Amino acid sequence: MASSSKFAALSSFVFLSLLLKGANAQTYQRLGACPTLGCIFPPDQTDFLAGQLFDIRLEVHAPVNGSEASNGGVPDEKFTLCIQKNRGSCVDAAKFFEVQDPALEKWNFTYYEDLFAEDANQLTHVNVAAKAYRALSLTEPGKYQAKLSYNGQARTVANWVVREPGKRKAKNVLFFIGDGMTQPMITAARLIAHKSINGKYQTLMQLDQMEALGLQMTHSIDSFITDSANSATALYTGKKSTVNALNVYVDSSKDAFDDPKVESIAELFRRKTGGPIGMVSTAYIADATPAALCSHTRDRDQRASVVFEYLHNASALTPQYDWPTSCKGPDVIFGGGAEQFIPGSGSYNGSDFYKAFQQEGYQVVYSNTELKAVGNSKKTLGIFSIDNLAKWLDRNVMPENLKNQKNSPLGDGTDALDQPGLKDMTLKAIDILQARSRGKGWFMMSEAASIDKMMHALDYDRALGELLELDDTVRASIAHLEKIGELDDTLIVVTADHGHGFDVFGGADTKYLAAQTTDRKKREAVGVYKKSGLSGYTVSPDVSPTNQTILFGAQGPNFPVQWNPRYAYAAGFGANPDRRENYKVNTAGPRRPATQGSDGGFEANPAQNTDGFAVSGTLPIDQGQGVHSLQDVPVYAKGPGSEAFRGVYNSVDIFFKIADTLGLGDTRKSH
Ligand SMILES: *[C@@H]1O[C@H](CO)[C@@H](O)[C@H](O)[C@H]1NC(C)=O
Ligand SMILES: *[C@@H]1O[C@H](CO)[C@@H](O)[C@H](O)[C@H]1NC(C)=O
Ligand SMILES: *[C@@H]1O[C@H](CO)[C@@H](O)[C@H](O)[C@H]1NC(C)=O
Ligand SMILES: *[C@@H]1O[C@H](CO)[C@@H](O)[C@H](O)[C@H]1NC(C)=O
Ligand SMILES: *[C@@H]1O[C@H](CO)[C@@H](O)[C@H](O)[C@H]1NC(C)=O
Ligand SMILES: [Zn+2]
C-alpha cells in the first residue's frame, strides 16, 4: 500500500513528474514516447491529416522494481480513455469512434535504467496492461484531447490537432530523398563538378535552381538524432516516431507488428485517388526509406515482411489487426535487394518472390538493358543486384570494381554488371506511372540512398558522386516532364532525411602527403584558408603513367572531369571511428575505415590509406562507421505548391505540405 499511496501523491503532480522523468531517461528509456506510467499513442503533440487512418495504443505500466516501482508491480486494468473535441465534453473513446471496446492485453518487459544498471546487469521489470483501437480516423479539423485515466487519479493527456486540409494543386508528386544529404555536401559537390572562374561558378547544380528552399528539423520523437526509418515515417505520415520504426509508434510489447500504425502518403494517395505510385532506390528495396512508403513495423530489419507488405498489405501480414488501407502493390518498384526475392534466401517464408510478384501481374526486369526495353503499361518490378546497387563512381569511372561481387539479382553467383543508375530508374518510372495514371496523377519517391551509405563509410568521394547523380537525375526528370507535357502539373520536392557531420575545410597536396614519413609532417600537406587553392576536379588531368585519363577522366558535364587530382579537397567529419586519411579517392571500391581489433572494438583499418595519417576516433569503439548528425537538412521544391516549402519547419510538415498539394485530406465522415 505504501507504494500506491506514494504514487497517488506523485500523480497529482503529473506534469512535474513528466519533466523530471524525461530528464532522467536518456541513454535508455522505459518507453521512448511515454515518460509517464500511462501511455497514449499517438502521443501528445500529434497532428493528423483529416481522414488519415491511425491506431490508438494505450498502455499502463507497473514497474516491479527500479526507481519507478509502483502498485506492487500490478498494472491498473481498469484504465479508461475519453476524447474531447474542441471545448466539448470528454466522450468514451469507443463511443466517440463508434467502435467496440477493445480486449485487454497483458505483457511484461525489462530494460536497463542507465549504464550503471547495465554494468551491474540489473534489469528493471515492468508489467503492462494495454489495449489497441485499430484503423480510426478524425475527419473534422480542430483541436482534440485524448485523456487516459489510470491508477486512480493519474492522467495522461495527448493534445491532437486535425489540420485544415488543402485543395489539390498538383496532379503528380515526384519526391526525391538524398539520404543523409546536407548543405555542406551539396556545396562540396558543386566545388568538384562545376567550374569556377575567379570565385564565380560558370554552371550550377540543378538544386541551386529550384523555386523554393527550406530547412527541416529531423529530430525523433524520443531522441534528437534520427535514423532513416524514423525520419521517413515523419516525411510520409506527418508523425514523429522512434529509431527503426516504419509507420508505427513503438509500443512495449515484443511483437514487431502489433504496434499502432499510421497511414502513409502512398497509402493515402492510393485510397483517395486510385492513382499509381512508384518507389525507386539505389539501396536494397526493403531498406528504410522505400519501406516506409508502404510497410508497418517497429523493426526496419524485418526485410522479408517489408517486401511481403509491398506485394500484399499489413492486413494480409497480420490479419488479426484490422488495417483497411494499403499501397495495393506499387506500380513501380526499382532498386537492389534481390535477397528478399530469390527463393531460399532472405525472402518471406523462403519463397520465390519474383514469381509471387509475377502472379500479381508484375513484369520483372533484372538489368539496365531489360529496364530500357520493357513496355510502360504493366506494373514493373526491377531488382538489379543483391544488396545495395553499385555506386555512381564505380559504375561510371571504375567499372572494374563491379567484378567479383557475385551479386547478380538472379542469385546465380555471377556479377551484376549491367545495373541502372538513379537516373535510368527514375526516368523509366516516370514513363510507367504516366502510362498507368489515366488522368489520376501519380506519386513517386526516388531515393539516392548511398549518399548516406558512403558517408557512413567515410567515403566522401563516392557519397558526392551519388549526390551529383541525384542532381543529374533531378535535372533530367525536369527535362523529361517538360517533354511529356507534365512539368506544370508536377510538384518536385528534393530533401534529405537526416545529416552526417561532413564538411570541407581546405585542400590537400596528396603527392606531398604521401611522400612524408611521419603523421605530423603529412599533415603539413593540408592547406587551409589561402593555401586551400582551387578545385583540381574541374580541370583536365595530366596524362600520367597511371593513365588517369582513362581511370578518372572524361565525365562531365555536371560531374568532375577527374576524381583523383593531386590537389584534392580536405574534408572531415563531426564523428568518426579511428581511421587513416590520405584524401585520395579509394580506387578499390568503397572505403572501410575501421576494422575490429583484438579487444573487439573498432580501430583504424590497417589496410586502408596506408600512406595517410592517423585520425583519432570520437565515437564509442563499437562503432566502425560514421553516424548521423543533428543538423537541419535542406528542402528544395519546384512546381505547383512549391511555395509552401519555403522557410524553416519540422520534418512532419513535409507530409502535410505534400498531402495538401495532392488534396488528400478528407473531411467527410467515413463511418
Ligand atoms: C512476464 O510474463 C511471463 C509470461 O509471458 C511470465 O511467465 C512472467 O512471470 C512475467 N514476469 C513477471 C515479472 O511478471
Ligand atoms: C528486479 O528484480 C529482478 C529479479 O526479479 C532482478 O534480477 C533485477 O536485478 C531487479 N532490478 C532492479 C533494478 O533492482
Ligand atoms: C490485402 O491483401 C490481400 C491479399 O493480397 C487482399 O485480398 C486484400 O484485399 C488486401 N487488402 C487491402 C486493404 O488492400
Ligand atoms: C509462412 O510460413 C508459415 C509457417 O510455415 C505459415 O504459417 C504461413 O501461412 C506462411 N505464410 C505465407 C504467406 O505463405
Ligand atoms: C590507357 O589505358 C587504356 C587501356 O587500359 C589504353 O587503351 C589507352 O590507350 C591508354 N591511354 C593512354 C593515354 O595511355
Ligand atoms: Zn544512415
Q: Which residues are annotated as a binding site?
A: 179, 287, 289, 447, 452, 456, 497-498, 628
Q: Which residues are annotated as a binding site for Mg(2+)?
A: 179, 287, 289, 447
* pLDDT of 19: 41
Measuring from atom 7 of ligand 5, which residue has the nearest CA? 550
Pick from 481, 492, 528, 524: nearest CA to 507: 528
| Total residue count of the chain as it appears in this document | 671
Measuring from atom 12 of ligand 5, which residue has the nearest CA? 547
Pick from 12, 82, 68: nearest CA to 35: 68
Q: If you measure from the C-alpha of residue 113 to the centroid of ligand 1, how many angstroms do you get, rounded to a whole number? A: 19
Average pLDDT over residues 292-316: 96
Q: Which residues are annotated as a binding site for Zn(2+)?
A: 179, 452, 456, 497-498, 628
Measuring from atom 10 of ligand 5, which residue has the nearest CA? 547
Average pLDDT over residues 283-297: 98
For the segment 305-331, what is each residue's pLDDT rounded down to a tens digit? Answer: 999 999 999 999 999 999 999 999 999
Residue 437 C-beta-side C-alpha neighbours within 13 Å: 19
CA-based end-to-end distance of the chain: 45
Measure the CA–CA gap between 239 and 378, rounded to whole angstroms.
33
Q: Check if 14-163 and 172-500+636-662 are the same fold.
A: no
Measure the CA–CA gap between 300 and 47, rounded to whole angstroms.
24
Confidence class of residue 503 from pLDDT cuts 50, 70 and 90?
very high
Domain boundaries, the chain: 14-163, 172-500+636-662, 502-573+576-615
DSSP secondary structure, 397-458, as one string: T-GGGGTT----TTSSS----S---HHHHHHHHHHHHHHHHTTS--EEEEEETHHHHHHHTT
Amino acid identity for residue 293 in this structure: L
Confidence class of residue 202 from pLDDT cuts 50, 70 and 90?
confident
Average pLDDT, the chain: 93
* pLDDT of 14: 39
Average pLDDT over residues 473-488: 98
Confidence class of residue 3 from pLDDT cuts 50, 70 and 90?
very low
Whether residue 109 has its Cβ less than 6 Å from ligand 1: no
Average pLDDT over residues 460-481: 98
**Which helix (H) or strand (E) is 317 found in, with range?**
helix 314-317
For the segment 70-120, what is each residue's pLDDT rounded down to a tens digit? Answer: 999 999 999 999 999 998 999 999 999 999 999 999 999 999 999 999 999
Confidence class of residue 667 from pLDDT cuts 50, 70 and 90?
confident
For the segment 510-553, what is each residue's pLDDT rounded down to a tens digit? Answer: 999 999 999 999 999 999 999 999 988 987 655 454 544 444 44
For the segment 446-468, what is each residue's pLDDT rounded down to a tens digit? Answer: 999 999 999 999 999 999 999 99
Per-residue buried b or exposed e for 311-320, using 16+ beta carbons within 10 Å of the residue's own CB? bbbbbebbee
Measure the CA–CA gap between 563 and 556, rounded to whole angstroms.
11
Whether residue 64 has its Cβ less than 6 Å from ligand 1: yes
Which fold would CATH assign to domain 14-163? Immunoglobulin-like (2.60.40)
Q: How does DSSP classify residue 349?
A: G
Give the whole-number percent of the chain exceeding pLDDT 90.
90
531 φ, ψ (degrees, to nearest 5): -75, 0
Pick from 410, 382, 356: nearest CA to 278: 382
* pLDDT of 7: 36
Confidence class of residue 562 from pLDDT cuts 50, 70 and 90?
confident
Whether residue 487 has its Cβ less than 6 Å from ligand 2: no
Q: If you measure from the C-alpha of residue 463 to the centroid of ligand 1, how many angstroms do you get, rounded to a whole number? A: 48
* pLDDT of 541: 54
User: Which-ligand-closest: CA of 112?
Assistant: 2
Q: If you measure from the C-alpha of residue 288 to the centroid of ligand 4, how many angstroms do you get, rounded to a whole number? A: 24
**Residue 562 CA: distances (Å) to CA of 455, 464, 538, 539, 582:** 20, 13, 7, 7, 17
Whether residue 85 has its Cβ less than 6 Å from ligand 3: no
Catalytic positions, written as ranges? 228
User: Which-ligand-closest: CA of 545?
Assistant: 5
Taken in order 462, 196, 203, 638, the sign of the CA dihedral is positive
The reply to whether CATH 3.40.720.10 applies to domain 172-500+636-662 is yes
Whether residue 328 has its Cβ less than 6 Å from ligand 3: yes
For the segment 346-380, what is each residue's pLDDT rounded down to a tens digit? Answer: 999 999 999 999 999 999 999 999 999 999 999 99
Whether residue 324 has its Cβ less than 6 Å from ligand 3: yes
Q: If you measure from the C-alpha of residue 439 to the centroid of ligand 5, how many angstroms do you get, rounded to a whole number? A: 52
How many H helices and E strands in the chain?
Answer: 20, 30
- Residues with Cβ within 8 Å of residue 477, at least 6 apart in sequence: 174, 426, 427, 430, 492
Give the whole-number percent of the chain exceeding pLDDT 70.
93
Confidence class of residue 578 from pLDDT cuts 50, 70 and 90?
very high
Bridge partners (DSSP) listed for residue 90: 84
Average pLDDT over residues 49-54: 98
Measure the CA–CA gap between 165 and 455, rounded to whole angstroms.
38
How many angstroms from the chain centroid is the CA of residue 164? Answer: 27
Q: If you measure from the C-alpha of residue 338 to the centroid of ligand 3, how many angstroms do you get, rounded to a whole number? A: 24
